[in-house]
């Protein structure tokens, strides 16, 4: 049986807590809680980048909607809005489009901290790491989660470790992203020189064969299993290193009501450590997700006034 805090406790707390809409008027002026990453104070709510660039983890139609609606003008304005809401950190993966957005954001006076996730050319060519770190000056650089999980599956973790060493040489903090709690346990058991983890609450990198072995059949698309968050947050609590939890709401699968959203946030912040933060992708086409999410986190983390 998994070692986790009582579902009854956090569900009861979620049901009794004020809704995000009720919190917005009185809470919006309060700062967000922060945690330390090295010498940098990071808001416990970090804005992610998947919706900005059409990675819905749902279907191709939602991918296309995100790409069409999320023009560069909108992406930059959303970053400024997030900063005004108290979010002081942005996590994005490396490619030409994201770096162009980063440069424009900085040119317009944007001051958010950055966590960088390797991908695409940078993932293939480690010699790019020093130049990218010099240009972006991120708090830390993490090995991409899907690539990490592939390496773990194929007994090729030496390449992940080599990536970590290259990042260490730049002076940036060293991170490893993963969707599989066994990866965190593997690295911890071997005492790798790593500063933080990015930990997906859903093990979406399972292959269809792995899912069939576990369940007897496989879903159409990625597998978001209801007890995955319990498994990952247990691994998060067992490491002393700070973690950045992501996909709290199952890439939009847990947003059927304000209560469902509240419960997803409640579970995450109750079951990660007080030194951890959460990355949340936001696509505020139909409502002000930025303000609502910030209000929920303020309430859950109970900053004294």
d(CA 8, CA 110): 41
Residue 149 lies in a domain: yes
Q: DSSP 3-state assignment of 251?
A: coil
CATH of the domain at 220: 3.20.20.60
Q: How many domains does the chain have?
A: 1
Residue 11 lies in a domain: yes
pLDDT reported for residue 127: 97
- Per-residue pLDDT tens for 15-55? 444 444 444 433 455 679 999 999 999 999 999 999 999 88
- Beta partners for residue 36, in sequence order: 41
Residue 27 lies in a domain: no
Is the per-residue pLDDT at 13 higher than 90? Answer: no
Mean pLDDT over residues 59-66, rounded? Answer: 88
- Strands 34-37, 40-43: pairing is antiparallel
Alpha-carbon torsion 202, 204, 207, 211, what sign? positive
What DSSP character marks residue 217? S
Residue 250 lies in a domain: yes
- Per-residue pLDDT tens for 127-167? 999 999 999 999 999 999 999 999 999 999 999 999 999 99
Averaged confidence pLDDT in the chain: 89
Residue 175 lies in a domain: yes
pLDDT reported for residue 149: 97
pLDDT band at 62 (very low <50, low <70, confident <90, very high): confident
Helix axes 7-16, 258-271, angle to 10 degrees: 130
CA angle 245, 246, 251 (to 5 degrees): 155
Residue 132 lies in a domain: yes
Q: DSSP 3-state assignment of 114?
A: strand
Mean pLDDT over residues 73-84, rounded? Answer: 96
Is the per-residue pLDDT at 217 higher than 50? Answer: yes
Residue 28 lies in a domain: no
pLDDT reported for residue 220: 86
* Residues across the chain: 305
- Per-residue pLDDT tens for 270-298? 999 999 999 999 999 999 999 999 999 99
Domain that holds residue 253: 7-21+37-298
First CA to last CA distance, the chain: 39
d(CA 181, CA 230): 10
Residue 184 lies in a domain: yes
pLDDT band at 305 (very low <50, low <70, confident <90, very high): very low
């Amino acid at each position: 049986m998994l070692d986790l805090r009582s579902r009854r406790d956090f569900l009861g707390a979620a049901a009794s807590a004020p809704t995000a809409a009720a919190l917005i008027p009185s809470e919006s002026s309060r700062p967000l809680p922060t945690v330390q990453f090295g010498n940098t104070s990071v808001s416990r709510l970090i804005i992610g980048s998947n919706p900005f660039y059409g990675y819905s983890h749902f279907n191709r139609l939602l991918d296309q909607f995100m790409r069409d609606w999320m023009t560069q003008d909108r992406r930059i304005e959303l970053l400024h809005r997030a900063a005004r809401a108290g979010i002081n950190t942005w996590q994005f993966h490396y490619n030409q489009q994201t770096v162009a957005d980063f440069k424009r954001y900085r040119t317009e006076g944007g001051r958010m901290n950055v966590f960088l996730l390797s991908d695409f050319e940078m993932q293939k060519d480690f010699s790019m790491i020093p130049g990218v770190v010099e240009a972006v000056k991120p708090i830390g650089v993490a090995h991409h989660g899907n690539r990490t999980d592939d390496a773990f599956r194929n007994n090729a973790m030496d390449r992940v470790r080599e990536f970590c060493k290259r990042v260490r040489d730049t002076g940036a903090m060293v991170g490893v992203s993963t969707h599989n709690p066994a990866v965190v346990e593997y690295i911890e058991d071997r005492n790798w020189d790593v500063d933080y983890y990015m930990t997906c609450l859903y093990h979406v990198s399972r292959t269809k064969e792995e899912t069939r072995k576990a369940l007897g059949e496989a879903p159409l698309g990625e597998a978001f299993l209801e007890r995955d968050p319990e498994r990952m947050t247990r691994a998060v609590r067992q490491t002393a290193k700070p973690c950045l939890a992501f996909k709290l709401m199952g890439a939009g699968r847990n947003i059927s009501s304000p209560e469902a959203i509240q419960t997803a946030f409640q579970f995450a912040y109750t079951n990660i450590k007080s030194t951890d933060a959460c990355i949340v992708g936001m696509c505020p086409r139909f409502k002000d997700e930025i303000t609502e999410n910030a209000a929920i986190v303020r309430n859950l983390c109970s900053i004294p006034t």
